Amino acid sequence: MLGEVKATSMNRVGRDYCVLEQIHAVKIVKNQFYPILIDAEKNKLIKALEPLPYPEKPDLDAKIDGYSVVWPIRSDLSEGRWMLSNSTLNNLIEKDMPHWEDMIQNERHGG
């Protein structure tokens, strides 16, 4: 009938939308693999840096600007992702929200 949409065309639209969602999710995930600078003596977050470009690998032993560096590396040494973007984390650091430091410390120790 006039104005009816065939089920096959709706399924295609749904599939296309799912593909776009997956592409968007991959971009977000890639942007959440970034280093965080920590003042180890004060046990304080300093700053979240820019995400590492894919497929570069981090130097897990490096210090940046004299600070210890934390990466989202799992206990099995596979690459993880932070739950927050670097800009969101930096906003929280600027507001001096101490519980985020606890979260990062738990991540470092496989928590």
Domain ranges of the chain: 36-99
Predicted confidence (pLDDT) at residue 108 exceeds the cutoff of 80: no
Q: Which of 64-68, 87-91, 94-98, 107-111 has the lowest mean pLDDT?
A: 107-111
Q: What pLDDT digit, counting tens, does each position of 15-65 carry?
A: 554 444 444 444 556 688 999 999 988 888 899 999 998 889 999 999 999
What confidence score (pLDDT) does residue 20 get?
Answer: 44
What confidence score (pLDDT) does residue 18 get?
Answer: 47
Contact 47, 37 (CB under 8 A): yes
What predicted TM-score, i.e. pTM, was given to this entire model? Answer: 0.64
